[in-house]
Chain A
Amino acid sequence: MTSSALPSLANDRGAFAELIQETLALTRRLFLQLMRRPSTLIAGILQPLIWLILFGALFANAPEGLLPGGMSYEKFLGAGVIVFTAFSGALNAGLPVMFDREFGFLNRLLVAPLRSRSSIVLASVIYITALSLLQSLAIMLTAAALGYGWPGGAGLALVLVTLLLLVFAVTALSLGLAFALPGHIELIAVIFVANLPLLFASTALAPLSFMPSWLGWLASLNPLTFAIEPIRAAYRGPLDLSSVLLEAPYGDVTGFGCLSILVALTVGLFLLIRPLLNRKLS
């Protein structure tokens, strides 16, 4: 038959090699988009930078000893802004996926014989994790240059682990929303509405002791707080994860407690969105 003159080029290369190939290709596409449209990256660094400088200046003359542990406000604020940077970066994870759904590009991916459609989700997670960590690193370097300190070796590892957990959790949430909501307008609205209240109702800008009890309750339930306190501890040094980092109204939370809550949140959110992704990508 004549068709034998044109053998298909799509031959088996082994499941793992194929999974790697498709995931890298999808990740590469997201980074190409970022390089050609760097405004999201720049805005994602500028916004927290402005927080850091303006808020730092606002409370520069606060009396010493006001904050727990006698920390300066700038140093106190640094941890909050780092977490906020990673958080708002990860919250945008769903946007490229949503645009692909809306413009039909997702259909192109779904017609292809992908080894696993998890590669679509995986590429987003890799991309947004790298991006969020990059933005956070830029903030940490700026804070260091401003004299707010730098966490030591073990501290740095703690910062990294904490940020990774938070980014995974928020990315899962955002990807879930990208498949659950009808369009990008709705997704942007949710991102917009979620962003600032979560920042203010956390210990990013002020300690629990400054807050009225209702806000203290909110801040002690806010996932951001459980990421902020370990990083603040890493900056404060010396590191002891079994010490109490948060004196919440419902009880004391240690460093291990904070990390455990983040792990539970990440796992929980991934389990929560899995049926949705399976349905939408099947």
Chain B
Amino acid sequence: MPLIELRHLHKAYDSVVALEDLNLDVPEACLYGLLGPNGAGKTSTLRILATLLEPDSGSVQVAGIDALKDPRAVRRQLGYVAQEVAIDKILTGRELLQLQGDLYHLPRSARDQRMAELIKRLAMEAWVDRRCGTYSGGMRRRLDLAAGLLHRPRLLLLDEPTVGLDIESRSAIWDVLRQLVSQGTSVLLSSHYLEEVEALADRMAIIDSGRVIAEGTPDGLKQQLGGDRVTLRVREFSDASEADRVCRLLQLVEGVRQVVVNRAQGFSLNLVIDEEAVIHRLRQCLDHEGLPVFALAQSRPSLDDVYLQATGRTLMDAELALAGKRDIKQEKRQSMR
């Protein structure tokens, strides 16, 4: 039986639909990645799992417990590291951890021992006794992670754990997560960084517009996709109309499965082809039309291709499309009690 079992989750904020029939199974002792652009429904999913949010309909099972019926039992099983770090600026890191330990009802000796362990593991010794108000983003994240791990949860939920972090803090957090999973803790993290999911996740789901649209291991998803990838530019800077014209042209070449205009990368063309020999035919076709080839690169399928295949757009395009639509005030109201 999976550790997390989400069935037919629906959630709407007023008229905005966040989740639409979302289904997800997360196995035990696994690092599971939720990949998707901002606004895809990742945070809502995690907030429902953390018992902060109730779905409009659907069922939520964590470790065999119905989270909607017995949220307290679920809370004891999980650690939650939210996207917006909530720390008390006036307390020191150590005081925050002590508070956290008392909220999880740890006996004092166990709490102090566990704190010492985490402070060491997350390299917090130098600043844990300073007030949280003086911390950098990376320090806050590490403190937040330590707080989430303090009671040794069976499941750790992380919402965009490394967004906006420096490389050092990011790799420190990645190391801790890998270590946790190897010791048997399950981790569910959301990210809109392909590299992060690629580097960490044993299994993953791609979420778009409130649904899971692809699920599997990162390698499995890539292999499923098959074919070779080609990125092609006829000129260094093409405009939309030229890109569209070339796109239509190349779609007719034998052995080309798909051509997509990548707006985020200056209207370059992303192609999926059956085999390497097709490249020769592409060149011939362009040559025949009198079009130059500024750049052509070939690669194995990446997670971005998986995303592209599933949604018909690149992750970057999805981010750009959503960027203008986000209402930060609205989001803050939703997360505020």
Contact = CB atoms under 8 A, between A and B. Distances in A.
B107 A37 contact: no
B280 interface: no
A5 B114 contact: no
Interface string A203-245: 0000000000000000000000000000000000000000000
A111 B100 CA distance: 11
Contact of A101 (B90, B147, B184, B336): B336
B86 A105 contact: yes
A10 B104 CA distance: 6
Contact of B86 (A37, A107, A114, A179): A107
Interface range for B: 35 or more
B326 interface: no
B103 A32 contact: no
Interface in B148-168: 150-154
B110 interface: yes
B105 A2 contact: no
A9 B52 contact: no
A36 B103 contact: no
A144 B83 CA distance: 54
Interface residues of A, number: 44
A111 B154 CA distance: 15
Contact of B52 (A3, A105, A111, A114): A111
Interface stretch (A20-28, A149-157, A246-254, A255-263): A20-28
A112 interface: yes
A5 B179 CA distance: 13
B98 interface: yes
Contacts of A2: 29, 183-184
Nearest to A119: B103
Given A2-B29, A8-B154, A29-B99, A21 B90 contact: no
A22 B183 contact: no
Contact of A111 (B51, B106, B150, B184): B51
A93 B183 CA distance: 44
Contact of B184 (A6, A32, A114, A182): A6
Nearest to A97: B337
Interface in A1-16: 1-11, 13
A8 B77 contact: yes
A65 interface: no
Contacts of A22: 102-103, 105
B209 to A, nearest CB: 25
Interface string A92-114: 00000000011111111111111
Contacts of A106: 337
A281 interface: yes
B106 A9 contact: yes
A100 B333 CA distance: 13
Contacts of A109: 103
A186 interface: no
A30 to B, nearest CB: 10
A186 B110 CA distance: 42
B72 A113 contact: yes
Nearest to B77: A8
B106 A110 contact: no
Nearest to B79: A111
A102 B336 contact: yes
A113 to B, nearest CB: 4
B222 interface: no
Given A8-B76, A105-B86, A113-B75, 17 more contacts: A1-B28, A1-B184, A2-B29, A3-B183, A3-B184, A6-B152, A8-B151, A10-B152, A101-B336, A101-B337, A108-B82, A109-B103, A111-B75, A111-B80, A112-B75, A113-B72, A114-B103
16 contacts: A3-B183, A3-B185, A7-B152, A9-B104, A9-B151, A9-B152, A10-B104, A22-B103, A22-B105, A25-B98, A25-B99, A25-B103, A110-B52, A111-B78, A113-B72, A182-B333
